[in-house]
Amino acid sequence: MVIQVDEPVRVKPNQTGRAAAILRLNGNEALYNELLEMFFKDDAVECLHGYLASGDVKSALLTAHGMKGSAANLGLETLSDLAGNVERSLRDNDVAAAQEAFSKLQREFDTISFFQE
């Protein structure tokens, strides 16, 4: 990922989320790091973007829901909540609200993947 010089200052993601997630994995930090890598390698955000753009609500809903769960599993609480917002808006058939929630989600995703790298 290319970082622009005029990017706003990034806030480091919630460390308690990480610690709690590792604890839930029986303290297996190596496994946690492996899972995190899997998570960021996945193209779910791009897919979600595409589904929202093309109006494929059903697929967007599944992807947002999936991201909510896997982010929660990794202790990425903010991201999980934002994915939850997208999911909820889609369930209400409010695509505009889903788009808006998605841009927040994308920002959060970029932020934590920046610290991930």
Partner 1 sequence: MERILIADDIAVNRKILEEILQDTYCCIMAENGKQAIERALEYAGSLSLILLDIMMPEYDGYEVLRILKRNMLTKDIPVVLITSLDSERDESRGLSEGAIDYITKPFNAQIVKCRVNNHVELKRHQDMLQELIDKRTRKIVEIRESLLDAVSSIIEYRSLESSKHVKRIKLYCEAHLNRLLKKNLFSEQLDRKNAELIARASTLHDIGKVGVPDSILMKPGPLASEEFELMKKHAVMGGDFINSIRDSADDDYVYYAYQICRHHHEWWNGGGYPDKLSGEDIPLSARIVALADVYDALVSKRVYKPAYSHETAVAFIRAGKGTQFDPLLVDTFEGEVSELFRSIAMLHNDCPQ
Binding site for partner 1 (CB under 8 A): 21, 24-26, 28, 31, 34-35, 38-39, 42, 59, 61-62, 65-66, 68-70, 72-75, 84
Closer residue to partner 1 in complex, CB, 8/55: 55
What is the closest distance, in whole angstroms, from the C-beta atom of residue 26 to partner 1 in the complex?
5
Q: To which residue do tokens 């959060």 refer?
A: 108
Q: Please report the DSSP string for 8-67 in residue order.
A: PPPPPP-HHHHHHHHHHTTT-HHHHHHHHHHHHHS-HHHHHHHHHHHT-HHHHHHHHHHH
Return the closest-CA partner of residue 109 out of 62, 46, 35, 24.
46
Closer residue to partner 1 in complex, CB, 10/101: 101
Closer residue to partner 1 in complex, CB, 3/23: 23
Q: Distance between CA atoms of 63 and 57, rounded to whole angstroms?
A: 10
| Structure-token pair, residue 5 | 């010089």
What is the closest distance, in whole angstroms, from the C-beta atom of residue 10 to partner 1 in the complex?
23
Looking at residue 24, its amino acid is R
What is the closest distance, in whole angstroms, from the C-beta atom of residue 7 to partner 1 in the complex?
27
Closer residue to partner 1 in complex, CB, 83/102: 83
What is the closest distance, in whole angstroms, from the C-beta atom of residue 102 to partner 1 in the complex?
18
